[in-house]
Amino acid sequence: MPSRLVQRIHFEDFGGTEFERLVFAYHVRAGWTDLAWFGQTGSDEGRDIVGRELIESGGYRSSVIQCVNRKTLTQKKAEEDMMRAIAASRGNLKAFKFVVGGTVSAARRDAVEEAAVKAGITSLAIWSGVDFEEHLRLIGEDLLRRFCDGDPFPDRPDELCHFASDFPGLTDIDALEQMAVVFQRPVFQTWFQEESSLPAFQTAIEDTIAALNTGVWRTREGETIRRIPSLHHLRNPQVKAKVRKASELVDKLRRTFIAGLRDKTIRPCGCGNPSCPTFMIDRTVAASLDDIRKMALDAFREAYSPFDVHLQ
């Protein structure tokens, strides 16, 4: 097959409103909640989009997204946008994100980050057009394709939310069938005392939590396999509650494991090899980890009866 070169998208060549629609749709797809599109009203006060961002440690944090569909981000505009957003939030703004259609130099990133710290913003993200395109190709290739083909996105935020849904035609059973695959790995099928790698165990647990909550399914090496439905796509409240319980139990498994490492009830052999299969563990901790895993699998089985993953 001949090789094919994928040219980067020059977002700054498209209209500002369409760019904002694409940014809004992406963040719906990425799992942000309570999204509001201020740019649509014409008086954004330095905050085109506001919403609640899912964070790695669990839970959500309120954030502002400013769309800058220009060839580059200037220092003046960055500082003005941040200060206007801070004023609009009455000083409560802590997280801010720029999505730029063009380029952002390393020097500009450093200068904007310095200004953000001085303004009291504790979390700042700056995506150039290249950064944004990479994220879109991961979870929103269809959104990017429609944008580039000139098909208009919906005008209203509620219509955009529906439009950007990952799997609009998928039934709960279909979604659960895809989600069940993330449990088909040794971390859920091997008794803890037969584990071969402590770091791999922790990584696999964290990847499972991420897959259930965000739909991003990765290998234990951190490589993205593909997108799958997350618990947020489930329509039936009872089914969603059961899958959420399973996710919470997997997180309890993670916390119990980390606590064991911290208090030395789970101990590497001391050889210095992070992948060494030899380690020591107190019997009560091993039993606790196995019990929590069984409860997590049973909770998911309550939501999806064909589920057939068990500790072997």
Could you read off the pLDDT of 118-162 as tens digits, one per residue?
999 999 999 999 999 988 887 777 788 888 888 788 888 888 887
Residues 140 and 165: their CA atoms lie apart, in Å, by 10
Is 50 exceeded by the pLDDT of residue 188? yes
Residue 216 tokens read as 């991003």
Instruction: Report CA-CA distances (Å) from 202 to 66, 223, 233, 234, 256.
Output: 35, 16, 26, 27, 11
Contact 69, 99 (CB under 8 A): no
Reported CATH class of domain 11-163:
alpha beta
Contact 37, 29 (CB under 8 A): no
pLDDT per residue as tens digits for the range 195-226: 667 888 888 899 999 889 878 777 766 666 67
pLDDT confidence band for 2 (50 / 70 / 90): very low
Locus of tokens 């710290």? 117
Report the predicted TM-score, pTM, of the whole model to 2 decimal places: 0.58
Instruction: Using alpha carbons only, give the angle 81, 83, 86 rounded to the nearest 5 degrees.
Output: 110
Residues 23 and 213: their CA atoms lie apart, in Å, by 21
Beta strands in the chain (DSSP E): 33-37, 49-54, 60-68, 95-100, 123-127, 216-218, 224-227, 266-268, 279-281
Is 70 exceeded by the pLDDT of residue 41? no
In the chain, CATH 3.40.1350 covers 11-163
Is 90 exceeded by the pLDDT of residue 259? yes
Stretch among 102-111, 118-127, 159-168 having the lowest mean pLDDT: 159-168
pLDDT value of position 4: 42
Is 60 exceeded by the pLDDT of residue 12? yes
- Could you give the 3-state DSSP secondary structure of residue 182? helix
Which residues lie below 8 Å from residue 176, measured CB to CB, with a gap of 6+?
A: 234, 239, 243, 303, 304, 307
Contact 85, 96 (CB under 8 A): yes
Long-range residue pairs from 276-280, CB within 8 A, at least 24 positions apart, any chain = 276/197, 277/195, 277/196, 277/197, 279/195, 279/198
